[in-house]
Amino acid sequence: MSLSLTGGNSAAAAPLISKDAVLAFVRTLPAVTARGIARSAPLVAMLVVIFAIWQFAADHPGASLPAPTKIWADSSELILHPFYDRGGLDKGLGLHLFASLQRVALGFALAGIAGIALGMLVGTSEVAMRGLDPIFQVLRTVPPLAWLPLSLAAFRDAQPSAIFVIFITAVWPVIINTAVGVRNVPQDYRNVARVIRLSGPKYFAKIILPAAAPYIFTGLRIGIGLSWLAIVAAEMLIGGVGIGFFIWDAWNSSNISDIIVALIYVGLVGYCLDRLVALSGRIVTRGTTAN
Amino acid sequence: MAFLEITDLAVRFKPTAPRVLREVRLKIDPGEYIAIIGHSGCGKSTLLNVIAGLLPASEGGVVLEGKEVFEPGPDRAVVFQNHSLLPWLTCRENVRIAVDQVFGASKSRAERADWVDQNLALVHMLPAADKRPAEISGGMKQRIGIARALAMQPKVLLLDEPFGALDALTRAHLQDQVMEIHARLGTTVIMITHDVDEAVLLSDRIVMMTNGPEATIGEVLDVAIPRPRDRLALAADPRFLAARAKVMEFLYARHARPEAA
């Protein structure tokens, strides 16, 4: 119908999008779709094979884990309605994930700010590096959950404790990568800054920060991955709303199907977080690496 | 007192190490074009870095217009060998960061923007001003490096093998542009090179360095060829050939490189 705009009355005003442009676009569609299908075919095939084996292995009476068909029967509501809310803790997976993401966002943002600042300090000052780097190297090996009892004791509340665990998990790779990035800023750029007498905060903002940005984003990317690993474990212990608690709660009520659905969601969200940081890194550091 | 004077300069990188440079003495007049030539490792880059203030002198020193050089500054702008443009900035922004820093207090925003464009136009890079360094050729990068240095209105322009990494045709083109800029602005230039033809074509005096360690100035040659100079006309000019022969004789007969590296 919309294409008939130009038909009949040839004196009519030109349509907003010309017919030729639309046709040209439509003509490219088969090629684009064909390429998309060709590229995703191996993945689809692999998923079909995995689900088939799973179905075959688990679809008999007395199986300890549910088959895909049983999962659908048990938990299709979780998949189809991620945002239902029946009050209390009976919420859709989307709402649980949202609660977890909020914690991660806050903890990770704090870790990013503190990590970049500390990394700058350690990367710039020899004295700071000698004093702080050994401490960082020891503390970063402490598993995230080992911090939880300590932070519960300190904050006496579940919410800040969980955020602290995220912070303390994500901060180390940010610090270490930022410091390496700052130390690796080419002498040429430093010389340019010296000749034009750029110093102090301006020097950091205009030379050091952009030159170290690719390293900083590597640290942030490792950090967001670790945060997501830590939040699920931490929420299992602190309870309340959150995807980690949801999984633990499902285990306590023997809803194995719910657990499997939740795991798939956790994986997909973790993947999206990683892509998101990688993408923002590519946008911010455009041109920095190629020279 | 000379415009720029280097007095009994010696440089050593460690207190116990032998001197890289020793007893360097040179007086330079305003507007002069000086080439420093020598084999690799003769300390010519070290000498330039001391004049720039990027390296400290161990003995003696450098005095520019009555003031001793002890730190880098925009009055001694450097064009680095590998251009050293900041890759995350466009060409215009690379010049602007220097202009904003040097003239931030003395020029208005509009004046600074205008000054940036004037300098980009001087090296014929205005059309590509909004590209990033990764998107332009090596010769273009070096032109932006020259524009950035000139935009600081330096008392001395220091060129550290500025055309070393370029192909012969681009190099000739850039040499002509530098000669034209030198003629127009009358800037004092100190250029490091290891290209004999380039030294003779561009400079008023050629400072020839002996081999290191403990390198020093072996000889200074006056190039008494009137400007403007034309590379085609000079190719067969006896004065050009004589100067060229003298530098060659110094570099390859009397101070041949000790070992082929």
Percent of chain A with pLDDT over 70: 92
Q: At what angle do helices A209-238 and A158-183 cross, to 10 degrees?
A: 160
Measure CA A141 to chain center: 22
Beta carbons within 10 angstroms of residue B81's beta carbon = 19
The Cα-based distances of A24 to A6, A28, A31, B120 in angstroms read: 16, 7, 12, 41
pLDDT at A10: 43
Q: Which two tokens stand for residue A110?
A: 């704090």
Can you point out the beta strands (E) in A66-208? none
Tell me the nearest-neighbour CA distance from B58 into chain A, angstroms.
Answer: 20
Q: Do A272 and A182 meet the contact criterion of CB atoms below 8 Å apart?
A: no
Measure CA A133 to chain center: 27
What pLDDT digit, counting tens, does each position of A110-148 carry?
999 999 999 999 999 999 999 999 999 999 999 999 999
Choose the closest CB to A188 out of B53, B84, B102. B84
Q: State the residue for tokens 């009994």.
A: B8
Residues of B in Cβ contact (< 8 Å) with A195: 52, 54, 72-74, 76-78, 152
pLDDT band at A75; cut points 50, 70, 90: confident
Do B86 and A189 count as a contact with CB atoms less than 8 A apart? yes
pLDDT at A132: 95
Query: Looking only at Cα atoms, what is the longest distance across chain B?
Result: 56
Choose the closest CB to B54 out of A191, A202, A286. A191
Q: Which two tokens stand for residue A159?
A: 């919410």
In the 3-class helix/strand/coil scheme, how is A89-121 assigned residue by residue?
CCECHHHHHHHHHHHHHHHHHHHHHHHHHHHHH
Q: Which two tokens stand for residue A287?
A: 């041109």
Q: At residue A196, does pLDDT exceed 60?
A: yes
Do A213 and B88 count as a contact with CB atoms less than 8 A apart? yes
Report how far residue B81's alpha carbon sits from residue B86's, in angstroms, rounded to the nearest whole number.
14
Q: At residue A150, does pLDDT exceed 90?
A: yes
Q: At residue B113, does pLDDT exceed 80?
A: yes
Nearest to A264 by CA among A99, A68, A55: A68
Do A196 and B102 count as a contact with CB atoms less than 8 A apart? yes
Mean pLDDT across the stretch B36-54? Answer: 91
Q: Which of B86, B94, B135 is the best residue to mutate to test the A interface, defined by the most A CB atoms within 10 Å of its own CB?
A: B86
- Containing A40, the helix (H) or strand (E) segment is helix A19-58
Choose the closest CB to B72 out of A195, A207, A290. A195
What pLDDT digit, counting tens, does each position of B171-193 carry?
998 999 999 999 999 999 999 99
Provide the number of CB pairs (under 8 Å) joining chain A to chain B. Answer: 62
Tell me the nearest-neighbour CA distance from A265 into chain B, angstroms.
Answer: 37
Mean pLDDT across the stretch B226-255? Answer: 92
Do B78 and A191 count as a contact with CB atoms less than 8 A apart? yes
Q: At residue A169, does pLDDT exceed 90?
A: yes
Q: Which two tokens stand for residue B250?
A: 């110094």
What pLDDT digit, counting tens, does each position of B130-156 carry?
999 999 999 999 999 999 999 999 999
What pLDDT digit, counting tens, does each position of A222-239 carry?
999 999 999 988 999 888
Q: How much is the mean pLDDT over chain A?
A: 87
Q: Which of A189, A191, A195 is the best residue to mutate to test the B interface, defined by the most B CB atoms within 10 Å of its own CB?
A: A195
**What is the identity of the amino acid at B137?**
S
pLDDT band at B260; cut points 50, 70, 90: low
Q: At residue A95, does pLDDT exceed 60?
A: yes
- Order of strands, edge to edge, in the sheet holding B59-64? B21-28, B4-11, B59-64, B67-68
Q: At residue A6, does pLDDT exceed 50?
A: no
Report how far residue A219's alpha carbon sits from residue A225's, in angstroms, rounded to the nearest whole number.
10
Q: Which two tokens stand for residue A81?
A: 């309605």
Choose the closest CB to B77 out of A195, A288, A289. A195
Q: State the residue for tokens 């911090």.
A: A147
Burial pattern B156-172, b for ≥16 Cβ within 10 A else e, equals bbbbbbbbeebeeebbb
Q: At residue A12, does pLDDT exceed 70?
A: no
Nearest to B6 by CA among B38, B40, B41, B48: B48
pLDDT at A29: 79
Q: Which two tokens stand for residue B225?
A: 């060829």
What pLDDT digit, counting tens, does each position of B54-100 carry?
999 999 999 999 999 999 999 999 998 888 899 999 999 999 999 99
Report how far residue B60's alpha carbon sits from residue B23's, in angstroms, rounded to the nearest whole number.
8
Instruction: State yes or no: cis peptide before B213, omega within 30 of 0.
Output: yes
pLDDT at A80: 84
What value of ipTM does the predicted structure carry?
A: 0.89
| Residue partners of B146: CB distance under 8 A and separation at least 6 | B79, B123, B159, B162, B177, B178, B181
pLDDT at B121: 93
